[in-house]
Amino acid sequence: MYDLHSHSHCSDGELAPAALVERAAGRGVKVLALSDHDSLGGLVEAGKAAADHGLTLVPAVEISCGWEQLEIHVVGLGVTATDEGLQTGLAAQQARRWRRAEAIDAKLGKDGAVDVLDELKRRFPAAAPTRSLFAQLLVERGLVRDHERAFARYLGRKGSAYVAPEWCSLAEGIGWIRAAGGVPVLAHPGRYGLSGSALERLLDAFVAAGGQALELSYPQLFPKEAQRLARFARVRGLWASQGSDFHSPRQHWTELGKMPPLPPEVIKVWEARPELFALPATPFSEPSNMAQDAQA
């Protein structure tokens, strides 16, 4: 069983990388990609745990990219985590995240929710700030009932603390992934609220920039929509990927290894690039510059 999209506490996931890998192994996952938002920080720990559990850990990352006023998520599968260009690019993304978080924090403060970013740093010391962590704290403070309302009232496009992001372009994100030897995958294509023709334009831009695969199976993607997406993929020669996008055991609608079957007649990314999904020939070792990353 392949689960090629998941998060640890190095971004907005709840579990530490080792606990995530252990849970995946317990659910029958044999090949797991850890794809934290704009971060490679969990890969060393996850790689060690994977070796202990006889599971293949695919080093990955989910990059937030800007395209026509939208935020598009691109998962890079099988990236070389020590690649300097990728590391530099992700460091710039992290800096953008912190700048945005400061601006969100200031707006929240004016709207009666003070010092949320300080609390976020204390509570999630391994993480870079994402809006979902802000949402969790706003819920815990009793200011809103749930995540959805936190986005509607504060953090989403129409919220009082909305700050437009300044992510890298689609072409930049894809370029970093390709240069680091990875496969760029357009994540959850059904979640951008795009009509058929806009989605086709996005796919054309994605392919033109060097994108190679499309997620065609993830929770809440209905078979009919998957079949339509599979047609879009086939005519563009895109491979298929699948992933749970697991964040937390408390989100009962996602679970590691749990997703619908892929639509028929698609080329699976692990068939197209088998070397990226095999058990490593040598046990996972710790490159010195990654160890520093994990502590940063």
Q: In this complex, which beta carbon is closest to ligand AMP, that of residue 16 or of residue 103?
A: 103
Task: Tell which one of 9, 23, 37, 188 touches ligand AMP (CB under 6 A).
Answer: 37
Out of 45, 215, 245, 293, name the contact with Mn ion by CB under 5 A: 245
Residue 153 contact partner, candidates Mn ion, ligand AMP, none, CB within 5 to 8 A by sort of partner: none
Binding to ligand AMP by residue 124, rule CB under 6 A? Answer: no
Q: Is 188 in the site for ligand AMP (CB under 6 A)?
A: no
CA terminus-to-terminus distance, the chain:
33
Under a CB-based contact definition with an 8 Å cutoff, are residues 126 and 19 in contact? no
Binding partner at 245 among Mn ion, ligand AMP, none, C-beta below 5 to 8 Å by kind: Mn ion
Q: Where are the alpha helices (DSSP H) in 27-113?
A: 43-53, 84-110
Q: Which residue is nearest to Mn ion (CB)?
A: 73
Give 94-103's long-range contacts (Cβ < 8 A, gap of 24+).
Answer: 94/38, 94/39, 94/128, 96/165, 96/166, 96/167, 97/38, 97/128, 97/129, 97/130, 98/128, 98/129, 99/166, 100/129, 100/163, 100/165, 100/166, 101/129, 101/134, 103/163
Q: Does 12 bind Mn ion (CB under 5 A)?
A: yes
Decide if residue 64 touches ligand AMP (CB under 6 A).
yes
Q: Alpha carbon of 191 to those of 26, 72, 76, 212, 219: distances in Å?
A: 29, 9, 18, 19, 11
Stretch that binds ligand AMP, among 44-52, 126-134, 170-178, 215-223 (CB under 6 A): 126-134
- Binding of residue 73 to Mn ion (CB under 5 A): yes
Q: What DSSP assignment string belongs to 190-251?
A: GGS---HHHHHHHHHHHHHTT--EEEEE-TT--HHHHHHHHHHHHHHT-EEEE---B--TT-
Residue 151 is a binding residue for ligand AMP (CB under 6 A): yes
Name the binder of 148 from ligand AMP, Mn ion, none, CB < 5-8 A by kind: ligand AMP
From residue 179 to residue 218, the character string flagging contacts with Mn ion as x (rule: CB under 5 A) and all else as - is --------x-------------------------------
Kindly state whether residue 271 participates in binding ligand AMP, applying the rule CB under 6 A.
no
Number of chain residues interacting with ligand AMP (CB under 6 A): 11
Q: Which is nearer to Mn ion, 81 or 187 (CB)?
A: 187
